[in-house]
Amino acid sequence: MSGSGSSMTIDARWRPRPDGFARGSRMALCIWWRDFELQIERARAPELAGRPLALSDESGGTRRVIEQACALAEARGVRPGQRISQAVALCPSLVLLEQDPDVYDAARERLLAILRAWSPVIEPAGERGRVLVGVDGLERLYGPPEGQIDDLEDRLRRRFPAAVLDRIRFGYAPGKFAAWVAARAAPPGGRLVVPAVRLPAFLAGQPVDVLPVSPRMIQRLRRLGVDRLDRFVELPEPALIAQFGADGRRALEWATGRRVDRVYPERRERPVRVSLDFPAPVGQIELLHGALDRLIARALRRTKGSGRSVRGIRVGARLEDGGSWSIRAILKDSTGRPDRLGAFLRSRIALSPPPRAVLELRLEFFRFGPSAAQTDLFDPRHDAPRVTGSLETRDGELLPPLREASRQLRLRLGEGVLYRVLELEPHSRIPERRHALLEIA
């Protein structure tokens, strides 16, 4: 979950797509629900209307902090990341709520389902309350941009309470960045449509902190007195590149409207979900670990058919006395090994344990990596005493299948054709000192 949602990461990588939406959508509609989670809480408890609200973050263990604060609380000095005691001292009437991720995820799914029925190009954008929609070609269905937003608003109104919808903002512009900036500039419950011809003029009046770059870069620009994009675009490009590298160049392209990132349809993988009900509430972490190991084994059995390794994992729980808890993690290297998944999840749970006893534990694999199956060439079954991650056995010999492959290559191509990359000084700043090639004899 994010705090105020005032910044955004643009996923601008080139991605080949085999489907019919390969080109993506140039025109984008950004739907931004600031403080989505707090709005959902307000809808659940109408008696909270007009009171300053904040969500607490339990992940710091005993050091509880503010995760998200509504505009009313922020006006009284409450900020995300602040200690609870400090926040209450600043705003004694603050209503502090525990997060209920199940409810927020369900509301987000409801939002996405409406959007998917409205446009084929949907791209979730980081936080739960922000989604980008490709609108190229939709004028034939719903009319001009204003009519499109009216139609979408009507659909949302049928599924969400009016009080919640009053906070939603729509930004309609060429590309993801401009659409997000337009949504940010729109009033709560309002909209902003920026046609392509007005794009540079519109961007010129925006503050520099709309740029999807590092906070450090924004801070440095502000220190230099560059607080709006019209002043930013006046900076010479070579100086920007020298100061900020590729970030500087990209930021300039966004700020001038030269760069337009298309909206691409999300790639939805079918998640693997398993769960375990406890006959009695479980509070002991060791019992949860045992249950988690069983769930990992069950979930991996289901992925075996496809041979995929696991990259994204969500662990959730239904808690005693109501409410829910969840953690979400992306592995740096995907794996299909239960011991690695178990160790990784245990360390994450230790950082952010369930606040109360657990009634039901759930595990979901939602992102997958390449096949977890080993190829024959590197199959450890060929050699039990193999050093982990190496092509050699403990006594320095090559693995038998690799030795045979090497022999055949040398026979065919001669000596000096097969090398292994050897790490020398992998973290050296001098590129040629990092690695060398070692001939496989």
Partner 1 sequence: MGRLRPLNRPEPVRVVPGPHGGPARVRLDARWRGVETVLEAWRIDDEWWREPISRAYFSLVLEGGAHLTLYHDLVEGRWYVQPQ
Residues making contact with partner 1 (CB under 8 A): 238, 241-242, 245-246, 249, 416, 419, 421-422, 429-432, 434-441
Residue among 82 and 393 whose Cβ is closer to partner 1: 393
Coil vs helix vs strand at 425: coil
**CB 55 within 8 Å of CB 80:** no
Q: For residue 116, how many other CB atoms are within 10 A of its CB?
A: 15
- Which amino acid is present at 86? Q
State the Cα–Cα distance between residues 143 and 320, nearest whole angstrom: 50
Residue among 303 and 406 whose Cβ is closer to partner 1: 406
Helix (H) or strand (E) holding 308: strand 308-319
**CB 36 within 8 Å of CB 128:** yes
Task: Give min distance, CB of 431 to partner 1, in A.
Answer: 5
The token pair that represents 337 in the structure block: 């090994």
For 85, list phi and psi in degrees, rounded to 5.
-60, -40
State the Cα–Cα distance between residues 124 and 30, nearest whole angstrom: 10
State the Cα–Cα distance between residues 275 and 272, nearest whole angstrom: 10
Residue among 411 and 430 whose Cβ is closer to partner 1: 430
Task: Give min distance, CB of 373 to partner 1, in A.
Answer: 30
Task: Give min distance, CB of 7 to partner 1, in A.
Answer: 22
Q: Is residue 406 classed exposed, middle or buried when 0-12, 13-18 and 19+ CB atoms within 10 A define those classes?
A: middle
Residue among 162 and 430 whose Cβ is closer to partner 1: 430
Residue among 216 and 302 whose Cβ is closer to partner 1: 216
Residue among 185 and 241 whose Cβ is closer to partner 1: 241
Task: Give min distance, CB of 439 to partner 1, in A.
Answer: 3
State the Cα–Cα distance between residues 8 and 216, nearest whole angstrom: 14
Task: Give min distance, CB of 418 to partner 1, in A.
Answer: 9
Task: Give min distance, CB of 425 to partner 1, in A.
Answer: 12
The token pair that represents 276 in the structure block: 């375990």
Residue among 117 and 417 whose Cβ is closer to partner 1: 417
State the Cα–Cα distance between residues 211 and 189, nearest whole angstrom: 23
Span between the terminal Cα atoms of the chain, in Å: 54
Task: Give min distance, CB of 427 to partner 1, in A.
Answer: 12
